Amino acid sequence: MYVLDSSAIIELLADTEKAKKIEEILGKTPIATTTISYVEVISGVKGKGIVGAIEFFNSVVVLDFDIVAANESIWIEKELKQTGQLLGRTDLFIAGICKQNKFPLVTCDNDFKRVKSITVHVV
């Protein structure tokens, strides 16, 4: 199973050229996302786009940010602090969820490459 972050979901919803590359990576593999990406995407959608966005989230597995993921996020942040390469708070949460579940992340955000403890596919 692949986890999509907000940037990848936005590309898919907009049916961009990057969306086609994301679809190539995904193939027939089941996909998931996170409650963090749900908030980021839905809060940014305007107008009638909300219907498609909600349909998307209803069609995939949505992984929760729970205490285990929170602990993983804390350890990721501690590791990144040692190298001086921090991530934004919500990106840490997404990385923690991926690490907890041992699922690779598909994103358009190069910042996730800093997290060595998860597999990241950047489009």
Domain coordinates of the chain in residue numbers?
2-122
Q: Which two tokens stand for residue 4?
A: 């999509």
pLDDT digits (tens, 9 = 90+) for 45-79: 988 889 999 999 999 999 999 999 999 999 999 99
Statement: 2-122 belongs to CATH 3.40.50.1010:
yes
Tokens 């969820």 belong to residue: 97
pTM of the full structure = 0.92
Which candidate, 26, 23, 1, places its Cα nearest to that of 12? Answer: 23
For residue 78, CA distances in Å to 20, 38, 83, 92 come to: 35, 26, 9, 11
Query: How high is the mean pLDDT of the chain?
Result: 95
Question: Sign of the C-alpha dihedral, residues 27, 31, 36, 37?
Answer: positive
Task: Tell me the residue type at 36.
Answer: I
DSSP lists the bridge partners of residue 2 as: 31
